[in-house]
Structure 1
């Protein structure tokens, strides 16, 4: 009993050759807060619109606001994690989550509610980069460069939350109204603050004064990065010929970002380092392409099931459930295996096959066929995200793992927003069967490029647990 209490003590020294299991709870809780807030809102949009008198064009900002904040904030917060340690940013992020939840619970208007979602998006940016940095730190402390088990737990937990998020949101709305989907963030944030304060290791204090901190953070680079992404994401979110000027802003801001980052001594985005790390850039490309296929299926196929196939929302949800269930099973079974390239190849072929099969769905498609397609779609869901996550862990520079992991999430959200834009184009006349066939073509192109990029990347054969981080694939 005494030994067990010592192991649970926040001040007890972890075993020198084993992962500190006290870190698991704050890591997982921090990492799942973003997907849980992303998925819960889906069932709250209609009651929010009714309660606040907001049309769909306004409630849509509750989704895009969090995506914009997260896509921009992940690499920025990840860089701060690299510089100042996971603990500080984790606790600051948890505080923002609590504030965002409270603002949402009391919001009198749709504008304030969008602000709450932006705060939630920024707050949840710290969870994933912090988790990846903590895993790398534990690998260095224990001397064991094979954290496949904990990386799998991280991937499976976020996938699981994606499954239960809408269900949890529906339960909260039934119990306390739509404001409960915001209020729930307050106790979750408090739990993060307690667990983070108790168990996350302290980093060395940063010195050198305000000027030294500014040089290390590169505020000019961050500002140009934010300007570039905001313009690009706003254009992708609201595709319109009237917004052509956003493309011009993106190009100008992007060129200024590249010019500045190549000349500043401590860049936010080390373009020379990124340019010399082809395998990492390829992983970012795969993350972007995988998100296009995954989110096109998740949102577009779901709309077609209800409008084109005529299923009720409840039955459509049940038809989609095997995607997530199969994904969780595949991740769990294959998570400890080291063949990253093999996982990506199987996932790539599965994506292509799913997209091709979508060409054959119609208003009279049998339920068994739709269920079989969903099970097959779960294979890349379980393989690609896990393999890309593991690849970044081993390909990224050790001193920039937080920002590298955050940048991968940025590419993922860019893919999600691209998929959303594609859905809007192909479903211009409603979620019809011809529309879903057009969406299948988009998915075939994205998944085909994913397959080509995977087969052409021979460095993946050298990326596996046990290989030196940041050297794999170089």
Structure 2
């Protein structure tokens, strides 16, 4: 294994925004940052004006990458819908296998753990294999995992098959953001809020379609079809990818794998996710099966960050966090995951426990939130391009807090129609929130740095989701125990979700005040993050 080093200057392929460089590496740095020519002096780097593309060039580039983006979106829709569909069918699975709830929950947990572990590995695999090969492999693994799930004779085999699905999903969910952004860079298409709005369409469409599709399948067929439905979709996505996702240059066939880093981050993620998953079942934080994996996982993740900062060939380029915009984006994405998933955890339970609906009806009642999120995305992209990420994200976080508060304030007998209107508005707020936060994380980055930025934001979102869900579960359990009133307990838990959104609003004040197009117009090679 290679030894750690802080002096390796060959890592400049990532750091497009570092302000000064050793004299000998200036030309290489400028080349990779996209600058066509430069003058150097003893005092540092003086970049020439970058080549400007006309609006006609950008329109041509957009038309060029449209089939590529369509193929990526088609493949990403499966893993996004899968979690919701399986959640709806969980009771049917428990009944079919006569499984205990504590065992059946691993059908979801195994999937999420495998997905999380694959996020940091995906960047190395993409460098080694190329994006096209890895995307096709992810589709094959996910589709094959779906078939294994449908053929599972026992709950244990189903859990293992779900892990296979999760490995494929981890690749697909990471490349969903990475590959379109890289392709846009190559085609000269600006990395804008509008582009992020298109890329994130599956995230908005999935929660709308999945409950309806899951309910229809369970109404006319067995639980096996919750997984078999992925087969025709997967085959179609494979055909589209084979046709429109072309091989790219720049693969690093000899890129070494940071085994120690992989073990640290893999075990750390497993520890944190298992610990937070056990919170609800254990009834709080003060239990060994919560604290041991949670604390152990946190320590391993801290060790991973320290190790990666010292490695010559890191698994994830954590040095990118030296740019304060990406660092602020990672923190904002953590807050986004916490606020969004705290609500997503509480809302179905609220409809079932307080309002007395079935699992399927609870899922269907969340559709207005998905519709609101979908409809908000075009406006979110345009506003981010015009006003900058800071204003839009801070306003959206605040709107999420405001639209979550009625579930804490209103009585349990509040009208369903009024709650559905609030859910629609909450969906609009969430749709407005995702795009500015994610757009900021890529602004000003050179194309080689995009996979690492994606891994950092995806890992942050996963950790935020785990923390937000655990916090909501702890507050709900503690309030239910102390008050004995289920409606009051949910009120306190929703206030916790409100607080998480307000924390996110404060964090988002560190995001760029300018639009991405204005920042992208800054001189490549300069510290555009620091100036924004």
Same fold? TM cut 0.5: yes
1:346 matched to 2:392: no
Which of residues 343, 347, 353 in structure 2 aligns to 1:297? 343
1:127 is aligned to: 172
> Cα–Cα, structure 1 residues 147 and 49, in superposed 2: closer, same or farther, change >3 Å?
same
2:259 is aligned to: 219
- Partner Cα separation in structure 2 for residue 295 and residue 136 of structure 1: 25
> Cα–Cα, structure 1 residues 157 and 205, in superposed 2: closer, same or farther, change >3 Å?
closer
- Partner Cα separation in structure 2 for residue 163 and residue 180 of structure 1: 19
1:30 matched to 2:75: yes
Deviation at 1:314, TM superposition (A): 5.8
- Partner Cα separation in structure 1 for residue 362 and residue 184 of structure 2: 43
Which of residues 314, 317, 327 in structure 2 aligns to 1:267? 314
1:172 is aligned to: 217
Which of residues 197, 220, 232 in structure 1 aligns to 2:272? 232
> Cα–Cα, structure 1 residues 466 and 171, in superposed 2: closer, same or farther, change >3 Å?
farther
| 3-state SS in 2 of match to 1:20 | helix
Give TM-score, length-normalised by structure 2: 0.78
1:447 is aligned to: 501
- Partner Cα separation in structure 2 for residue 378 and residue 252 of structure 1: 35
Alpha-carbon contact 2:110-2:159 (below 8 Å) kept: yes
1:403 is aligned to: 452
Deviation at 1:439, TM superposition (A): 0.8
Which of residues 390, 395, 400 in structure 1 aligns to 2:439? 390
1:333 matched to 2:379: yes
Which of residues 109, 114, 117 in structure 2 aligns to 1:69? 114
What are the superposed Cα offsets for residues 360-414 of structure 1, whole Å, 9 maximum, x if unpaired?
A: 1222212343123212211221111122221222255531312322332222222
| 3-state SS in 2 of match to 1:69 | helix
1:464 matched to 2:497: no
- Partner Cα separation in structure 2 for residue 369 and residue 63 of structure 1: 32
- Partner Cα separation in structure 2 for residue 427 and residue 63 of structure 1: 21
1:324 matched to 2:370: yes
- Partner Cα separation in structure 2 for residue 79 and residue 374 of structure 1: 40
Deviation at 1:206, TM superposition (A): 4.5
- Partner Cα separation in structure 1 for residue 449 and residue 358 of structure 2: 47
What are the superposed Cα offsets for residues 47-94 of structure 1, whole Å, 9 maximum, x if unpaired?
A: 100001112212211222222222221232134324543201101101
> Cα–Cα, structure 1 residues 306 and 413, in superposed 2: closer, same or farther, change >3 Å?
same
Q: How does 1:38-437 map to 2 (within 5 A)?
A: 38-204=83-249, 206=251, 212-213=254-255, 215=256, 217-239=257-279, 240=282, 241-243=287-289, 244-274=291-321, 276-311=322-357, 313=359, 316-337=362-383, 338=385, 339=387, 340-394=389-443, 396=445, 398-428=447-477, 429=480, 432-437=486-491
Alpha-carbon contact 1:148-1:465 (below 8 Å) kept: no
- Partner Cα separation in structure 2 for residue 383 and residue 282 of structure 1: 18
What are the ranges of 5 or more consecutive residues in structure 1 without an aligned counterpart? 1-13
Alpha-carbon contact 2:132-2:245 (below 8 Å) kept: yes
| 3-state SS in 2 of match to 1:262 | helix
Q: Give the alignment's Cα RMSD to 1 decimal.
A: 2.6
Give TM-score, length-normalised by structure 1: 0.87
Alpha-carbon contact 1:82-1:401 (below 8 Å) kept: no
Deviation at 1:203, TM superposition (A): 2.6
> How many residues get paired?
453
